[in-house]
Amino acid sequence: MDWRSALQRLREPRNAWQVGAGLLRGHYYRVKFRLLRRRVTIGRRFRVNGRLDIRGPGTVSFGDDCCVYSSRAAVTTPWTHTPEAVLRFGNRVLLTGTRIGCALRIDVDDWAGLADARITDTDFHALEVYDQPRYQTSGACKAVRIGRNAWIGAGAWVLKGVTVGENSVVGAAAVAVVDVPPNAVVMGNPARVVSRLRGSTAAVRPAQPGASAGTR
């Protein structure tokens, strides 16, 4: 873990302290899940501020330079629900109190930002009516993908089978039930395109380590 180079990029002592503490806590979780023999892999310079709660029998992987910010009221919870589940985060992914339920596969590409949102690839229960309570049934699963540099706003839901395109924004409290095209902003329930974005990720300047995490 290259802590020294990460700290040298910072000019303000407060940011340096925050990054240093985040790196230490990230290393704590790396050791913790290794000792617990969880199927969790964590890349370089992993930072955690607050609590990270990873549960389940599936596979969870983080790329390099991922950051987790949690509060007591909004804990980041990447959970898997089956041994076959794969939950993959690319490089420089930001999670801020995000709650994720994965039974099949969820991919979050590089530079994506996830606020206090909900992402799931399963219904958790059947839609059909059976001779038993619905909560005792299992639901359909379809893979989810969050594209490069996409942003999922606070209170938003991304449901099973949805792909959120590159650079797109799912606005606060929106419910994405169908694919979101690249370079688009969607709002509402169900989410609909309200505007189109120009430019590409090549024009985006990544935030410096220690920068505050947005939630919308």
Domain ranges in the chain are 3-198
Question: Which residues does 51 contact at the CB level (< 8 Å), separation at least 6?
Answer: 70, 72, 75, 76
| pLDDT given for residue 135 in this prediction | 85
CATH of domain 3-198: 2.160.10.10
| pLDDT given for residue 209 in this prediction | 41
Could you write out the DSSP letters of every residue in 119-182?
EESB-SS-SS--SS-GGGS---B--EEE-TT-EE-TT-EE-TT-EEPTT-EE-TT-EE-SPBPT
| pLDDT given for residue 130 in this prediction | 86
CA gap 109, 146 in Å, rounded: 6
Q: For every one of its 216 residues, what pLDDT tens digit does the chain have, with 9 covering 90 and above?
A: 455 555 555 555 667 788 889 999 999 999 999 999 999 999 999 999 999 999 999 999 999 999 999 998 999 999 999 999 999 999 999 999 999 999 999 999 999 999 999 999 999 888 888 888 988 888 899 999 999 999 999 999 999 999 999 999 999 999 999 999 999 999 999 999 999 998 654 444 444 444 444 434
The whole-model pTM stands at: 0.85
Report residue 124 CA to chain centroid gap.
19
